[in-house]
Amino acid sequence: MNSENSIDIPQFKIDTKYLRTLLDEMIEINSVVGDEKDLAILLAEELQKLGLAIQLEDVEANRPNIYAHHQFAQKGKTLTFNGHLDTVDVCEGWTFEPFIPIEKDGNLYGLGSADMKGGIACQIAAIKALVDSNESQIGTIHFSAVVDEEGYGKGGRKMINNPFFGKGKTDGIIIAEPLFGNTIASSLPLGMTGKVLYKITIKGLSAHAYRPVQGINAITDASKIVNVIENLGDSSKNENLGFTLLSDDDFGKGSFCILKIEGGYKKYSVVVPEHCEIILNRLTVPGETKESLNQDLEQLIEKLNLKSMVTIELVPPFYYPYKISEDHELFSSLKRAYKESMGEDPYTSYMRMITDANVFMGEGKIPTVHFGPKGNNLHSPNENVNVNSLEVCAKIYAQTYCIFQKKNK
């Protein structure tokens, strides 16, 4: 039995010059989702130089995940440092160059500087500190960087099924998302909602548009579906539909957002539209299953008594919600390391968002936490990362590894 305070926490010297050079190089490489290979190769070379064994695994042609591992002399647990290689695409409004790292007023600008090249550079600097440290370390470090997190999460799914780095091969994962824990907005998640994407196909009947009563207008029926979904949050408007959203103690209720609607002619024609399609995004909470999510929407639409034929399909990606206990050995190790450097506990919260943790823990049941440097303007123009937060972030990673090794389950 070892109490929290009896664990002595090694002080690591982070090679900040190394960290910064690596991060600059990473920003210079375009790794917009779909184009992750060059960055994977850079990281593979870097980790090889640090003495780690490397494996690249193609998720799709030219889209490799990279895995690396290092085993210390003394047996212990395995902890995975993880990040995603891809960034979102360059959006409009950048006044800095997205692929040229520029530091200004203590922040380093560049696409992915925060989400999440900064965090990955910190993880690799932490691995360097662990490998270089004179103290003998315990256990095994895994590192993985995966493709497609900003897309469909294919890289994460490939990883949990990898025979050496996936389910059953690691005791926990720290994802380098830029959640620094020092504000409510950057809280360290104790769980995340899940998500489902629906394709709702509405099939009516075409007729001459001058005699609309002879047809069934798929767009008009689609609009009734849109309207009822829009009003789901307002119980006074839908109580007669008998639809109640499941409410979770920590997350509250899920939510709906129509992402896309498409119907009508491709080339101008005066015809009652026969076809319409709706893509609907829904955040889900624990207790909602694939079956229930299909069923409740089906029942809701049935009650509208539309003339069109409506079919509902769940289309990828599907993400399971998950929660991790604040007392879990991984979360509490991270919290302990955080307090050591920051002097206070991190903010924590249940978040309405999706990351690869939904794949790792929601689907793969591997305990997963998030922590990363302080970032600004994520998925927006002039994304940047706070330079001072990089060193402390790397140190917290290395210390979390050591505390985790010493903690009893």
Give yes or no for residue 288 binding Zn ion (CB under 5 A). Answer: no
Q: Which of 56, 241, 267 is nearest to 143 (CA)?
A: 56
**CA angle in degrees (0–180, nearest 5) for 27-30-31:** 100
Q: Which amino acid belongs to residue 333?
A: S
Q: Quote the least distance from Cβ 131 to Zn ion, whole Å.
A: 26
Q: Which helix (H) or strand (E) holds 303?
A: none
By beta-carbon proximity to Zn ion, the closer residue of 44 and 146 is 146
Q: In this chain, which stretch among 57-65, 113-121, 167-175, 401-409 interacts with Zn ion, using CB under 5 A? A: 113-121
Helices within 303-374 (DSSP H only)? 329-342, 357
C-alpha to C-alpha distance for 21 and 40, rounded to whole angstroms: 16
Q: In this chain, which stretch among 112-120, 235-243, 303-311, 365-373 interacts with Zn ion, using CB under 5 A? A: 112-120
Q: In this chain, which stretch among 4-12, 24-32, 108-116, 398-406 interacts with Zn ion, using CB under 5 A? A: 108-116
Give yes or no for residue 115 binding Zn ion (CB under 5 A). Answer: yes
Under DSSP, is residue 218 helix (H, G, I), strand (E, B) or coil? helix
By beta-carbon proximity to Zn ion, the closer residue of 33 and 116 is 116
Asked if residues 221 and 286 have their Cβ atoms less than 8 Å apart, the reply is: no
Q: In this chain, which stretch among 110-118, 269-277, 302-310, 385-393 interacts with Zn ion, using CB under 5 A? A: 110-118
Give yes or no for residue 86 binding Zn ion (CB under 5 A). Answer: no
Q: Quote the least distance from Cβ 356 to Zn ion, whole Å.
A: 8
By beta-carbon proximity to Zn ion, the closer residue of 116 and 301 is 116
Q: Quote the least distance from Cβ 370 to Zn ion, whole Å.
A: 9
Give the footprint of Zn ion on residues 310-329 (CB under 5 A). none
Q: Quote the least distance from Cβ 362 to Zn ion, whole Å.
A: 16
Per-residue DSSP letters for 53-110?
Answer: EEEEEEEETTEEEEEEEEE-SEEEEEEEEEEE--BPPPPTT-SS-TTS-EEETTEEES
By beta-carbon proximity to Zn ion, the closer residue of 39 and 116 is 116
C-alpha to C-alpha distance for 214 and 34, rounded to whole angstroms: 47
Q: Nearest-CB residue to Zn ion?
A: 115
C-alpha to C-alpha distance for 402 and 333, rounded to whole angstroms: 9
C-alpha to C-alpha distance for 297 and 291, rounded to whole angstroms: 10
Asked if residues 36 and 147 have their Cβ atoms less than 8 Å apart, the reply is: yes
Q: Quote the least distance from Cβ 119 to Zn ion, whole Å.
A: 8
Residue holding tokens 């922590």? Answer: 371
By beta-carbon proximity to Zn ion, the closer residue of 177 and 274 is 177
Check whether the bond before 317 is cis (ω within 30° of 0).
yes
Size, binding site for Zn ion by CB under 5 A: 2
Q: In this chain, which stretch among 72-80, 116-124, 159-167, 339-347 interacts with Zn ion, using CB under 5 A? A: 116-124
Interacting residues toward Zn ion by CB under 5 A = 115-116
